[in-house]
Structure 1
Amino acid sequence: MKIIDMTKGNPIKLLIQFSIPILIGNLFQQIYTLVDRIIVGRFVGDTAFSAIGATNALSMTFMSMCMGAAIGTGVVVSQYFGAKNEKGTAASIANGTYTCILITIIMTVIAMVSTKPILLLLNTPQSLLPDALTYMYIFMGGLIAVSAYFTPFSILRALGDSKTPLIFLVLCSLLNIVLDLLFVVVFKTGVAGAAFATVLSEAIAAVLCVIYAFVKVPQFKQAFVYRKIDRGLINKTLKVSIPTGLQYALIYVSSIILQRIVNGFGEDVIGAFTATTQIELLVQQIFSALGSAMVTYTGQNIGAGKHNRISDGVVAAMKISAVISAVLLAVFWLFGKPIMSIFVANQNIISIAATGIRITSLFLIALGGVQILRYMLNGAGDSVYALINGVVEVIARVAFAISLTAIPFIGMWGIWLTTGLTWTVTAVFALLRYRHGTWRNKKLV
């Protein structure tokens, strides 16, 4: 395992070097999600495809607290690592893991109890409800596997290792595709098979990654030595985990509200929105990779007390993001229809989705800014920002969705305008928070 010390060296080179394995891993993760959707759409049908799409925001809402716990653990670990505190690093790995397990159990129970009432509240079409419920119950029942999948990856990245998680992400992706084909195409198990394939592949990858980490990574071995429950470390982890998890939960809650509005436009628009959402999730992985690099970069440098170096990293990441946004804008405007046709054969869905992705591509520069600054501020331990940012995003998305779709000459296109304008508002807010400099005083260790 090669650990990268991000407290020294050229920021641009370090961020690119660290983010490329994360990007490749994220892309593989999204590719298997895309393949999952394509297999369902092609071999089960449009209704099943739209049913899974109707659960996207809800499933991510429940997962958000688990993701927040993993991120919070990584932030604490990276700051101890940057401060060269070996005992603190090891103990924070152990206690962060305890925190992740507890939060996951709580979210699993909540998800299993509330999924059906929420889907009904969201006005999910009756034709989609059976498949949507089946998918959610299986996926949420296996949430512990998803959490076990995210947590060791977050810790390894906090230690400066972005390459090892890539190996297990690729393994998980390939395994998921094979299991999808086996369960859905061969065994004809429909959306249930797709859900089982995802949970099982992530569980296997998680177990293998944990075994590898304990065998090869000294900090994981030491974590077993310093495994005693430490309330102080758990509190530090929760200080980042809860606001970060709530931030993402609020973001997805606003997406659920948007999904309800989408549902009101019928199955074709639901299918188109599902298709563009999958592509947007794929695109977000590029900016998310930069953001993930910024978490480690910021955590290690703030632990080492190098605040000016963090600002240099932000500038470097923004330059990279601007170039990527311009390239993607051209791709979506030129090849929107061919890209959307990989999901379904319905020409009306394809046409709507192609126009939708062209609209959101105009705002990709804002999306890049959101991801970079959000992750950077999380890495600094600025948990107050994380929560407020979630509130801002909810207000923006709900306000834009309700108002824009109500305008006759905008109508359903307000759905995609809402996405882009929400990115813009949250990017401006994140920039103002960064410029204010409060994050400089949020060091956790």
Structure 2
Amino acid sequence: MGKQTDMTQGNPARLLLAFAVPLMLGTILQQSFIIVDRIIVGHLIGANAFSAIGATSSVSMIFTSISLGIAMGSGIVVSQYFGAKDEKNTALAIRNGTIISVISTLIISALAMLLTKPILTLLNTPDALMKEAAAYMLISMGGLIFVILYYIPFSTLRALGDAKTPIIFLTICSVCNIVFDLVFVRILHTGVGGTAVASLLAQGIAGVLCSIYAVRQYSCFRDALKTSKFDKKMAKQILKLCIPMGFQYSLIYLSGSIMQWVINRFGTGVIGAFAATNQIENLIQQPFTALGTAIATYTGQNAGAGHTERIRQGLHSALKICAVYAIALVAVFWGFGNLIMGIFVSDDLIIKNAVTGIHITSVFMIFLGSTQITRYFLNGAGDTVYSMANGMIEIGCKLIFVFLMTNIPFIGQWGIWWTIGFTWLCTAVFALCRYKSGKWQKICTK
């Protein structure tokens, strides 16, 4: 099993790769199984079912991302105390972060269920998709607590520098998800609702197993269980960091929901195509996310240890790795676009639209990677102002570009994918400007 890693010493590039590669393999594996999940829906239930799930993705993530952002923020506080070699406060941060995450998730889940039907109606979800979309989202939001109980131990282990152990439980989750999918869809014939239940059950099982492992292997987890105290000072510190992060991600997906409203106007052929390209983008950006998670942990630990120059070196190494990977992606999508998109559905119109869409967004992948890595870096440094500002810029860009470009006659529906690309470009420029301003350094040295 994996062990915690001290990132305050050693070669930055090697540490980041050693941390990111196993994490990347794990998350790619997880995303691959999610894609298999969508393939099961697209081929065993139908193109409309595939499009219905796609129509709920950005809406569901508005609520889910708040909970994940809070858990991620808690993990950064854990990494800072771990980097400072403060075992008592490391345990206290784990306990308080878990309590805050669970309570906030229960509230968010109830709110999401109440708003499911009104939001889908507001977004002009086509009548042909509404029933299945509403069923899928209601179940997913009702079981949001399973998602967060799955994410908390994973996030905390990564904060301690343990990138390898979560892969084992990600694999367990992914395999369970596919098995449950086939049982619910092929044997029980439960439709899209069954796929939502399958995902929640798989995450619940993986979360319980990962939590048991963490308690047995790490003293800070055991100490977190033994300590009955809810520390107001620690809670305030966690909330100060995680609330802006939660809202940053929710704003990003709010803009995605507004985009979905525009996408829905173009019909199921475009809805399905966007869902397909979105799934592929979620898969291929996992190395960016893995590097980002590595740099967040690296930054948090080195900030706790007071190694400011070392933090800067780590970011530069991560950005170089990002550039090489982004260039390779362009060649893959332009060379094998039809083959890749044909995996999801057999509908010719959806495939054709998806291939053109991925050709457009692939040339902007380097900006997506730069944004992801710099975002995680600044979050790891505790730059909460950036978190909120970045979310506002992303939502602003998506709104401006999507309404502008889809209304240009010779662009039309392709403006959806151009919007994604230009938004990545703008947020990358902002993130790098924020880094160059040096404000993160002042926060680290406080």
TM range (shorter): over 0.9
Name the SS of the counterpart of 1:344 in structure 2. Answer: coil
Q: Distance in 2 between matches of 1:80 and 1:100?
A: 19
Q: Distance in 2 between matches of 1:408 and 1:133?
A: 33
* RMSD over equivalenced CA pairs, Å: 1.0
Q: Distance in 1 between matches of 2:37 and 2:146?
A: 18
Question: Hey, what does 1:265 align to over in structure 2?
Answer: 266
Question: Hey, what does 2:424 align to over in structure 1?
Answer: 423
The residue type paired with residue 269 of structure 2 is D
Question: Hey, what does 1:409 align to over in structure 2?
Answer: 410
Asked whether 1:89 is paired with 2:93, we answer no
Q: Distance in 2 between matches of 1:260 and 1:100?
A: 30
Q: Distance in 2 between matches of 1:162 and 1:404?
A: 41
Question: Hey, what does 1:207 align to over in structure 2?
Answer: 208
The residue type paired with residue 153 of structure 1 is F
Q: Distance in 1 between matches of 2:271 and 2:35?
A: 16
Listed as ranges, the matches of 1:24-103 within 5 Å are: 24-103=25-104
Asked whether 1:345 is paired with 2:346, we answer yes
Listed as ranges, the matches of 1:303-342 within 5 Å are: 303-342=304-343
Q: Distance in 2 between matches of 1:244 and 1:178?
A: 34
Asked whether 1:177 is paired with 2:175, we answer no
Question: Hey, what does 1:224 align to over in structure 2?
Answer: 225
The CA deviation string for residues 213-258 of structure 1, in whole angstroms up to 9 with x for no partner, is 1111111011123341001111111111110010000000000011
Q: Distance in 1 between matches of 2:120 and 2:137?
A: 10
Listed as ranges, the matches of 1:137-286 within 5 Å are: 137-286=138-287
Question: Hey, what does 1:135 align to over in structure 2?
Answer: 136
Question: Hey, what does 2:355 align to over in structure 1?
Answer: 354
Quick check: 1:95–1:227 contact (8 Å CA) kept in 2?
no
The CA deviation string for residues 398-422 of structure 1, in whole angstroms up to 9 with x for no partner, is 1000000000011111000000100
Name the SS of the counterpart of 1:127 in structure 2. Answer: helix
Quick check: 1:79–1:444 contact (8 Å CA) kept in 2?
no
Q: Distance in 2 between matches of 1:444 and 1:149?
A: 33
Once the two structures are TM-superposed, the CA of residue 21 in structure 1 deviates from its matched residue by: 1.5
Once the two structures are TM-superposed, the CA of residue 444 in structure 1 deviates from its matched residue by: 9.5
Q: Distance in 1 between matches of 2:10 and 2:445?
A: 24
Name the SS of the counterpart of 1:128 in structure 2. Answer: helix
Q: Distance in 2 between matches of 1:225 and 1:41?
A: 47
Q: Distance in 2 between matches of 1:125 and 1:263?
A: 7
The residue type paired with residue 90 of structure 1 is A
Q: Distance in 1 between matches of 2:426 and 2:285?
A: 17
Q: Distance in 1 between matches of 2:88 and 2:218?
A: 14
Ranges in structure 2 where 5+ consecutive residues have no aligned partner: none
Quick check: 1:87–1:226 contact (8 Å CA) kept in 2?
no
Question: Hey, what does 1:393 align to over in structure 2?
Answer: 394
Once the two structures are TM-superposed, the CA of residue 152 in structure 1 deviates from its matched residue by: 0.7
The residue type paired with residue 322 of structure 2 is S
Q: Distance in 2 between matches of 1:383 and 1:280?
A: 27
Quick check: 1:307–1:440 contact (8 Å CA) kept in 2?
yes
The CA deviation string for residues 285-312 of structure 1, in whole angstroms up to 9 with x for no partner, is 1100000001100000000000111110
Quick check: 2:66–2:249 contact (8 Å CA) kept in 1?
yes
Quick check: 1:78–1:299 contact (8 Å CA) kept in 2?
yes
Quick check: 1:76–1:444 contact (8 Å CA) kept in 2?
no
Q: Distance in 2 between matches of 1:439 and 1:55?
A: 36
The CA deviation string for residues 44-72 of structure 1, in whole angstroms up to 9 with x for no partner, is 11111100000000111110111111111
Q: Distance in 2 between matches of 1:425 and 1:142?
A: 35
Question: Hey, what does 1:117 align to over in structure 2?
Answer: 118
Q: Distance in 2 between matches of 1:180 and 1:444?
A: 49
Q: Distance in 2 between matches of 1:273 and 1:237?
A: 36
Q: Distance in 1 between matches of 2:42 and 2:69?
A: 31
The CA deviation string for residues 139-168 of structure 1, in whole angstroms up to 9 with x for no partner, is 111100000011111110111101111110
Q: Distance in 1 between matches of 2:205 and 2:306?
A: 39
- Number of aligned residues: 445
The residue type paired with residue 370 of structure 1 is T
Q: Distance in 2 between matches of 1:187 and 1:50?
A: 22
The residue type paired with residue 258 of structure 1 is M
Asked whether 1:298 is paired with 2:265, we answer no
Asked whether 1:106 is paired with 2:107, we answer yes
The residue type paired with residue 11 of structure 1 is P
Q: Distance in 1 between matches of 2:323 and 2:44?
A: 39
The residue type paired with residue 87 of structure 1 is K
The residue type paired with residue 262 of structure 1 is I
Q: Distance in 2 between matches of 1:402 and 1:249?
A: 21
412-421 vs 220-229, which deviates more? 220-229
Once the two structures are TM-superposed, the CA of residue 32 in structure 1 deviates from its matched residue by: 1.8
The residue type paired with residue 152 of structure 2 is T
Q: Distance in 2 between matches of 1:61 and 1:326?
A: 30
Q: Distance in 1 between matches of 2:411 and 2:74?
A: 43
Q: Distance in 1 between matches of 2:236 and 2:333?
A: 44
Q: Distance in 2 between matches of 1:66 and 1:36?
A: 23
Once the two structures are TM-superposed, the CA of residue 29 in structure 1 deviates from its matched residue by: 1.8
Quick check: 2:252–2:394 contact (8 Å CA) kept in 1?
yes
TM-score for both structures, normalised by structure 2: 0.99
